Amino acid sequence: MEKRIELERRGKNPEDIKELNLDNCRSTTIVGLTDEFCNLESLSLINVGLTSLKGFPKLPNLKKLELSDNRINNGLNLLCTSAKLTSLNLSGNKIKDLDTLEPLKEFKHLRTLDLFNNEATSIENYRDKIFKMIPNLKFLDGYDAEDCEGELSELDSEEEVNGNDDDSDDDDGTSDDDDDGVGLNAVYQENLDDLSDEEDYEAGEEEEEDEDAIEEEEEEDADSPSKAHIRGKKRKHEDGEAAENN
């Protein structure tokens, strides 16, 4: 077990480790796990071969403890230094009577307890007695006191509720999506106004250009020699007709 602990540490200081998995490392007692792991929150010792919890360290921040598939039959009082324990899995061990489970009633935060494949589960009214022994317990072997299966832990339920609250509308009755929609409409309208102003400006320029072109054509007509000659001949013809009439 000591070598496995050293491997799982990966060079970190014991006080910096919050999760530790020691599954399948063979040992009959706890060795190498010391009080230095003071911030450990989750510890897994599945299928290790433990016959007792002798040597279990002081883990004041431990919340989840996996001890399934071992050979533990007593000594649960050695867990008392982990007062924050909320989840304990003892399935597949050698617990034969309810007296062995008495120390668990001291855990005020214990919410989930698994005792599958222990002889104690065959005791008459076993479930009712355990829920009475540990009043704060929510789930025993995956079911609550009303035999309803527990699919979500309390933590998951709280996260789900908080997630729904995040989707609610703002105090003014509008959602963030509505605010974005108004902003986009305003920008779109502003762009339309800019385009309209540009079109009016370009149209004005075209009219001015047309007027300038007309003036230039008139000036060219006036300056054209052929057109001036035609106008001179027309005046002579008119003057001749006037003289004959006189």
Residue 165 to residue 162: CA distance in whole angstroms: 5
Task: Write the CB contacts of 92 (distance below 8 Å, at least 6 apart in sequence).
Answer: 68, 69, 70, 116, 117, 118
Under the banding of pLDDT at 50, 70 and 90, the label for residue 33 is very high
pLDDT in tens, 175-190: 444 444 444 455 445 5
Answer whether residue 69 shows pLDDT above 90. Answer: yes
Domain ranges of the chain: 2-152, 176-245
Task: Tell me what the mean pLDDT of segment 104-131 comes to.
Answer: 96
pLDDT value at residue 47: 97
List strand residue ranges (DSSP E) for the chain, in order: 19-21, 42-44, 64-66, 87-89, 112-114, 139-140
Q: What is the pTM of this model?
A: 0.62
Answer whether residue 162 shows pLDDT above 60. Answer: no
Q: Crossing angle, helix 176-223 and helix 225-245, to 10 degrees?
A: 50
Contact assessment for residue 59 and residue 38, using Cβ atoms and an 8 Å cutoff: yes
pLDDT value at residue 155: 43
Q: Any idea which fold 2-152 has? A: 3.80.10
Q: Which of 15-19, 157-161, 209-213, 242-246 is the most confident on average? A: 15-19
Q: What average pLDDT is seen over the chain?
A: 77
Under the banding of pLDDT at 50, 70 and 90, the label for residue 150 is confident
